[in-house]
């Protein structure tokens, strides 16, 4: 189950990335960039281009921040290959095709290095004797690992994580503080679940009775989260009544999202914060769902659908790549036209009143002839 560190100072030292330094040349190798200037210039942290200080790395992707190129104190700046300079700058430049994507890749690498340093088992924590742990696992203080849990290699369980009976956590997955995974659930490889999220709580199943009361329907399924999924903080994914609630590979769920029992979320689908998906709905691949959207149960959402923020989807979307907005949601372009008409209603009302007045005058004149 891995060696325990001798003292807490072990973690304080081993986990720190504060003193890591990289040269511009090393960074360029990581992001396949070309250095202009001093390749030996070093950085030890990141900063926004408008605020960055000496020994910090910044990037410029948005043209509206271009003026900060000439005033920033950053030691190294990542720039688009197409970015032209109006005057010399003091910082070392790393040219890449897409500065934003390159900076994101660098942040991922930095995070990976920091996370990989986490190993060992902190105390107090509980690990059932029947649980199995892979290599280079980190278990934070007050974590609870139940009977027959299987944990892969390089898994990181931050303090306060709970894993119920028969849970499986595959390689390179990270569960941040306070994540709760209920019994029998399966989490794939390279998954990140942020603090406070709950996976596998009971679905909302209650059968109405003749006397007006409700009787709970047992939820005996599980949740399956495939590889490369990321789930934000305080999200809830309910277990299936029978079978599995399924989050497919590459899906990204924001904070404060509710996924109900037996829902399927397709590959590479993204769902923004405070959205809710009701039971047994099947969401396709590459779907984009805006914040605070609501989706009723037992419907299907076609691949590539885009649902605007605060939309309410009440029926199946069968046409791939459709764009929807409103509540109830309907075609995005038609909705924009309807909104434009709505804004013009006062003027239209005035024009109709004038036409009615003109018509009345014409009728009076006709009668008088």
Q: Which residues are catalytic?
A: 261
Residues whose CB is less than 8 angstroms from the CB of residue 76 and which lie 6 or more positions away in sequence, other chains included:
24, 27, 41, 43, 57, 58, 91, 92, 93, 94
CA distances from 238 to 98, 247, 259 (A): 39, 11, 6
What DSSP string describes 331-354?
Answer: EHHHHHHHHHHHHTHHHHHHHHHH
CA 291 to chain centre: 11
Rounded Cα–Cα distance for residues 181 and 212 (Å): 33
CA distances from 175 to 8, 59, 180, 198, 230 (A): 20, 29, 9, 11, 10
Give yes or no for a contact between 49 and 32, defined as CB atoms under 8 angstroms apart: no
3-class secondary structure for 228-293? CCEECCCCEEECCCCCEEEECCCCEECCCCEECCCCEECCCCEECCCCEECCCCEECCCCEECCCC
Residues whose CB is less than 8 angstroms from the CB of residue 212 and which lie 6 or more positions away in sequence, other chains included:
none
CA distances from 187 to 182, 194, 227, 228, 283 (A): 11, 13, 8, 10, 19
Give yes or no for a contact between 22 and 43, defined as CB atoms under 8 angstroms apart: yes
Rounded Cα–Cα distance for residues 68 and 70 (Å): 5
Rounded Cα–Cα distance for residues 289 and 292 (Å): 9
Residue (of 265, 278, 299, 274) closest to 203 by Cα position: 278
Residue (of 257, 339, 263) closest to 291 by Cα position: 257
């Amino acid at each position: 189950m891995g060696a325990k560190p001798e003292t807490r100072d072990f973690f304080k030292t081993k986990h720190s990335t504060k003193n890591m330094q990289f040269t511009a040349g090393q960074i360029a190798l990581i992001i396949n960039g070309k250095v202009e200037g001093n390749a030996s210039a070093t950085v030890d942290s990141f900063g926004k281009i408008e605020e960055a200080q000496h020994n910090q790395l910044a990037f410029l992707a948005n043209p509206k921040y271009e003026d900060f190129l000439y005033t920033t104190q950053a030691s190294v700046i990542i720039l688009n290959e197409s970015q032209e300079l109006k005057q010399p700058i003091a910082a070392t430049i790393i040219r890449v095709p897409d500065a934003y994507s390159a900076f994101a890749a660098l942040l991922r690498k930095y995070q990976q290095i920091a996370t990989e340093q986490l190993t060992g088992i902190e105390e107090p924590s509980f690990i059932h004797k029947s649980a199995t742990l892979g290599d280079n696992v980190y278990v934070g203080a007050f974590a609870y690992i139940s009977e027959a849990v299987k944990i892969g290699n390089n898994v990181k369980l931050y303090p306060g994580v709970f894993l119920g009976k028969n849970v499986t956590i595959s390689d390179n997955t990270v569960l941040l503080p306070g994540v709760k995974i209920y019994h029998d659930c399966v989490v794939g490889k390279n998954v990140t679940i942020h603090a406070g999220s709950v996976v596998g709580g009971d679905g909302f199943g209650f059968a109405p009775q003749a006397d007006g009361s409700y009787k709970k329907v047992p939820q005996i399924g599980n949740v399956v989260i495939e590889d490369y999924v990321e789930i934000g903080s305080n999200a809830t994914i309910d277990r299936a009544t029978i079978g599995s609630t399924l989050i497919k590979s590459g899906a990204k769920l924001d904070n404060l999202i509710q996924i109900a029992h037996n829902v399927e979320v397709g590959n590479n689908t993204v769902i923004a914060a405070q959205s809710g998906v009701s039971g047994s709905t099947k969401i396709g691949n590459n779907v984009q769902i805006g914040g605070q959207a609501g989706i009723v149960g037992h419907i299907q959402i076609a691949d590539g659908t885009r649902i605007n923020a605060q939309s309410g989807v009440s029926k199946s979307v069968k046409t791939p790549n459709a764009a929807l907005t409103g509540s109830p949601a309907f075609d995005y372009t038609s909705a924009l036209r309807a909104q434009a008409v709505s804004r013009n209603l006062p003027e239209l009302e005035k024009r109709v009143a004038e036409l009615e007045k003109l018509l009345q005058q014409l009728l009076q004149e006709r009668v008088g002839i």
